[in-house]
Chain A
Amino acid sequence: MEPIKTFSGKVVALPINDIDTDQIIPARYLKVTDKAGLGAACFSDWRYESDGTPKPDFVLNQPEHQGAVVLIGGNNFGCGSSREHAPWALMGAGFKAVISTYFADIFKNNSLKNGLLPVIVDEETHQQLISLAQEDADTTITVDLAAQMVTLPDGRQVGFPIDGFSKHCLLNGVDQLGYVLSLEENIQAYEGANPARVNTLEPA
């Protein structure tokens, strides 16, 4: 994974609470066996008419919002299914970060493993960002992961939480699987002390 550097970019607001992963990427697109092409299907049912033409009133289709890299969702963003296709689709659609007051647990984990930053802000900042994005499509913010800081257009800086290990991995492009595999001795020791009761390979 590429290390995440400080970035600035346009924000776009989709201020709907409880946006579930079925909206982010409907299940019928999950028949793929790779990650390609999911960006085009991101928010498909909100974004396209049944004949595939874009709905002009959907915010992500509006010309002035093209090129946005930060999505501001409503509360509890990413609830529902565990599909990692959700962050893949959002990244495929060009997003580097999602801002909300809180995220569903599995979506947050999946995002952190792919370099899509879940940025948690307080209610007031959340509302302010939504207003800014809705009033001016060119609203740009800066996201600094190292400092855990979002800089708003007026210069105000707002901190956001992230667990130390995920931060370290994202900043340095460290691969979490590599870290776990480096613990082979510990894993072996655990397995030695805790033999399996079930063997799925045995016929039954």
Chain B
Amino acid sequence: MASIIDFTDICKTFKVPERTKGKWSTFKNFFARKHKLIHALKNVTFEVEEGDIVGYIGPNGAGKSTTIKIMSGILTPTSGTCKINGLVPWKNRREFVKNIGVVFGQRSQLWWDVPVIDSFELLRDIYKIPKDEFDQTLKILDKALNLEDLLGRPLRQLSLGQKMKCELAGSLLHRPKILFLDEPTIGLDAVTKLAVRDFIKFINKEWHTTIILTTHDMSDIEALTNKIILIGKGQILYQGSFDNIKSKYSSAKTIEVEFSKDYDNVELDGYTVVSHNKKYATLKNLPSTEFHTKDFVNQITKKYEVVDFQVSSLSVDEILAKLYKEFELSER
């Protein structure tokens, strides 16, 4: 399939005033201000195919929002080329934005004081959506998100979850080809989160909408995306399927063992002992040891009297933390 987003060698550099410390510094800075350059994005290149749901992940400050802002035409990059849906976002902004929808999880695009339906009708005028098409779209969105009781109420009276549902619907009224979601599930309770996820899947399937999603919630990534792009310190570190990363790290196991009596010392070939407290011990397999339950049982029961044990793989969050650490991305 053809790629709908082509992001090539994008760099974005910000110039920010530098504050020096020390006596008189505020005074000195007032007259002679030093600037330093911050490289928010360094030669970022990736492609997204039509109909993909892409998870765009990375630690705080990695450059995720900057990328989304460039892709939605809000920011102009310092260098590099970008073609989305055949257009350069920041050059043909007004033409370009007709085919995208954007939801910034922490901001609102709807009008605060008036009923939600009034906001929707204004968006209908702004995007010049024909009346019957608008009614049809609204019907679909209403059915998928249960909007009915919300539409007549002013936005300020809605809860965070209800607001997010309305924001999502608002960004899709003109049936954009591409939807950018910047942390859409932030602050939502479990039920609403699942509803939002189901909705995103539904839209992707029904309208074949390409979706770019940033989030810190790894269960979002696992449930939704078929591709992830990992960014850190302004550079792309990995792009591909999430399963690849998972299988790479799923060989690492943690085994909690309970013994029938107290041992002073626990040792096992091929394993490191993470913690040990009389009857209880936690072990991890060394990278060289491939874990097999049968071998492990044979090996450990020869040395110790075992009552019970439990094996667990890394959680998605742990895998990611490990990835960040490997790339030295975690903030100190």
Partners in one complex: no
Interface residues of A (CB under 8 A from B): none
